[in-house]
C-alpha cells in the first residue's frame, strides 16, 4: 500500500515579483484607501449638512406658520371692541378660543417634526431649546383655550387664572427662543472654529 508523503511535495510556489508590479500594487492600494477616506469624510460632511438643512427647513416652516398665526392673533387683539354687547364679548372670546386651538395643534405638529430631526451633536442644544419653546407655546395656547372655555361657563376668575398661567408660559417661550439663538450661535461658531 502506497502512502503519499506530503512533507516533501507541499511547497508554496515561488512568486516572482518584480519591482514594477510591487509599485503598482502599492499605489493601487494607496489610491483605494485615499478614495475611501475622502469618500467617507465627504459622506459624513454631506450627511451632517443635509441634516442641518432639514432641521433648518423645519424651523423655517414652523416660524412661517407661527408668524401667520401671530398676525391673526395681533389683529384679533386689536379688534377688541370698546363698548361691546355681551354677544360681541362672547364672539370675541370664541374667536380667541379657535385661535388657541389652532395654535395648540400647530405647535404640537411642528414640535413632533422638529423633535424627530436627527441633527449633528453640535445642534442638539438648539434643537432642544426650540422644541422647548414650542412646548411653552403649546402650553400657553392650551391655557388660552381653557380660559375661553371657562369664560363661556361664566367662570371669569378661572379664565383670568388661566390667562395668567398662559402669560407665564409665554415668557418661558421667549426665554427658550433666546436659549435657542444662543445655542445656534454656539453651534455655528464651533463649526467655523
Partner 1 sequence: MEWKDVFPVLAGGLVILVIALVVKPALLAEPVSGPGPAKPVYVPPTPVPAATPFPEEGAAYTRNFRWTAIDGGVHTTEVRVPEALFAEHRNTPRLNDPLAWGRYALAEEDRPVLEDLARRIAPPTGNPEAEYFGLMNLIFFVQQVPYAHDNSAESYTEGVLPHYAVRRGADAEYPRYPTEMLVDGEGDCEDSAILMAGLLDALDYDTVLLRYPDHMALGIRMEGFSPYYAKYTPKYFDYGGKRYYYVEGTDFAWVNVSTDSTARQGKPLPIGDTGSTGIQSVKSQTPEIIPLRYIPAPAEYRIRPARLPAGGA
Q: Alpha-carbon dihedral of residues 53, 58, 64, 65, nearest 10 degrees?
A: 170
Q: Indicate which single residue of 131, 132, 138, 144 sits in contact with partner 1 (rule: CB under 8 A).
A: 144
CB of residue 65 to partner 1, shortest distance in Å: 8
What is the contact mask toward partner 1 in residues 45 to 64, using x (rule: CB under 8 A)?
A: -xx-xx-xxxxxx-xxx-x-
Binding to partner 1, residues 66-105 (CB under 8 A)? 66-67, 69-70, 72-74, 77, 80, 83-87, 89-99, 101-102, 105
Report the distance separating Cα 51 and Cα 186, nearest Å: 17
Cα separation values, 146 from 68, 87, 105, 130, Å: 22, 20, 14, 24
**114 near partner 1, judged by CB under 8 A:** no
The closest alpha carbon to 73, from 91, 95, 105, 90, belongs to: 95
Closer to partner 1 at the Cβ: 90 or 128? 90
Binding-site size, partner 1 (CB under 8 A): 93
Binding to partner 1, residues 1-20 (CB under 8 A)? none
Cβ proximity of 184 and 133 under 8 Å: no
CB of residue 12 to partner 1, shortest distance in Å: 19
Report the distance separating Cα 147 and Cα 93, nearest Å: 9
Amino acid at each position: 500500500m502506497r502512502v503519499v508523503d506530503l512533507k516533501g511535495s507541499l511547497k508554496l510556489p515561488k512568486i516572482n515579483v518584480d519591482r514594477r508590479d510591487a509599485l503598482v500594487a502599492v499605489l493601487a492600494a494607496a489610491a483605494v484607501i485615499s478614495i475611501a477616506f475622502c469618500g467617507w469624510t465627504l459622506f459624513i460632511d454631506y450627511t451632517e449638512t443635509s441634516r442641518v438643512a432639514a432641521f433648518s427647513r423645519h424651523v423655517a416652516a414652523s416660524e412661517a406658520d407661527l408668524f401667520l398665526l401671530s398676525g391673526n392673533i395681533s389683529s384679533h387683539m386689536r379688534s377688541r371692541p370698546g363698548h361691546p354687547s355681551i354677544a360681541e364679548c362672547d364672539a370675541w372670546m370664541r374667536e380667541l378660543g379657535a385661535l388657541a386651538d389652532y395654535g395648540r395643534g400647530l405647535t404640537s405638529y411642528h414640535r413632533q417634526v422638529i423633535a424627530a430631526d436627527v441633527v449633528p451633536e453640535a445642534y442638539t442644544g438648539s434643537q432642544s431649546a426650540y422644541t422647548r419653546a414650542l412646548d411653552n407655546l403649546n402650553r400657553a395656547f392650551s391655557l388660552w383655550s381653557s380660559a375661553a372655555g371657562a369664560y363661556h361657563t361664566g367662570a371669569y376668575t378661572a379664565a383670568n387664572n388661566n390667562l395668567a398661567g398662559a402669560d407665564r408660559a409665554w415668557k418661558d417661550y421667549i426665554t427658550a427662543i433666546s436659549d435657542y439663538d444662543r445655542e445656534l450661535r454656539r453651534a455655528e461658531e464651533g463649526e467655523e472654529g
